[in-house]
């Protein structure tokens, strides 16, 4: 399945959004100025940008060198506390993703949850509260291919989160996992108006990759001048 909603503007750098899900990461890069193509094994009818359905690692190996930058978010279920408690087994894809990315010769980033830290190399952390959201959604980012990332300063957590199972009201701080309530409120807070609850639970808020995207653009410009 392939679909597009944007017309590529001339001179836009091309970005591959691997394991794209519903497009939180892709939208942030798009807003930063990239021409984004998402790839995911599952049909993502809510993905708001160009999309290709297929195996992300195979796609990186075959087409990754044709992009200016690659973002990869391999599934986090292997590392989540819920899955460990339930004793479910999931594949470790971080190492094979890294191997595929390194073979492209392009700059890249791998994103995952904090529980995946032992599998990542010198990751930096981002928190939603830094970007004005009412939640503490920590995500780790490993960089490579010559690109390095400076995250925004991590602020102390002072606001209490609403306990799981309680209704969310406007202005509440929240933890968007499981069957969380008040989806419209969380959707607006994370700035993902096209997503449903399933997408929000796992998404990278676009603000994270908007921040990263501007640093990527500076890196690409520096490389172009050096060449």
Q: What is the CATH number of the domain that holds 6?
A: 3.40.50.150
Distance set, CA 203 to CA 2, 19, 25, 186 (Å): 21, 11, 7, 12
| Spatial separation of the C-alpha atoms in residues 39 and 112, rounded to whole Å | 17
| Tokens matching residue 223 | 């490389």
The answer to whether position 196 is within a domain reads: no
The answer to whether position 191 is within a domain reads: no
Q: Which stretch of DSSP H or E encloses residue 213?
A: helix 206-226
The answer to whether position 165 is within a domain reads: no
Position of tokens 């199972």? 165
pLDDT tens for the chain, 227 residues: list them. 444 344 344 579 999 999 999 999 999 999 999 999 999 999 999 999 999 999 999 999 999 999 999 999 999 665 555 554 455 555 789 999 999 999 999 999 999 999 999 999 999 999 999 999 999 999 999 999 999 999 999 989 999 999 888 899 999 999 999 899 999 999 999 999 999 999 999 999 999 999 999 999 999 999 998 87
The answer to whether position 181 is within a domain reads: no
**Owning domain of residue 93:** 2-152+204-226
The Cβ of residue 129 has, within 10 Å, a number of other Cβ atoms equal to 18
């Amino acid at each position: 399945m392939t679909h597009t909603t944007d017309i590529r503007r001339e001179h836009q750098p091309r970005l591959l959004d691997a394991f794209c899900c519903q497009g939180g990461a892709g939208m942030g890069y798009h807003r930063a100025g990239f021409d984004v193509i998402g790839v995911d094994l599952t049909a993502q009818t809510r993905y708001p940008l160009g999309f290709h359905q297929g195996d992300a690692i195979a796609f990186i190996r075959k087409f990754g060198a044709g992009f200016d930058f690659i973002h990869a978010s391999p599934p986090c279920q292997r590392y989540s506390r819920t899955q460990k408690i339930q004793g479910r087994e999931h594949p470790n894809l971080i190492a094979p993703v890294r191997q595929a990315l390194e073979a492209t010769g392009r700059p890249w980033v791998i994103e995952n949850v904090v529980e995946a830290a032992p599998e990542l190399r010198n990751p930096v952390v981002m928190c939603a509260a830094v970007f004005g959201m009412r939640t503490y959604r920590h995500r780790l980012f490993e960089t490579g291919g010559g690109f390095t990332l400076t995250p925004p300063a991590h602020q102390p957590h002072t606001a209490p989160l609403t306990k799981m199972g309680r209704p969310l009201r406007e202005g509440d701080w929240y933890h968007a996992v499981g069957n969380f309530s008040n989806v419209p409120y969380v959707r607006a807070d994370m700035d993902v108006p096209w997503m449903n609850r399933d997408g929000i639970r796992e998404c990278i808020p676009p603000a994270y990759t908007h921040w990263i995207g501007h640093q990527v653009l500076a890196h690409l410009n520096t490389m172009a001048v050096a060449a």
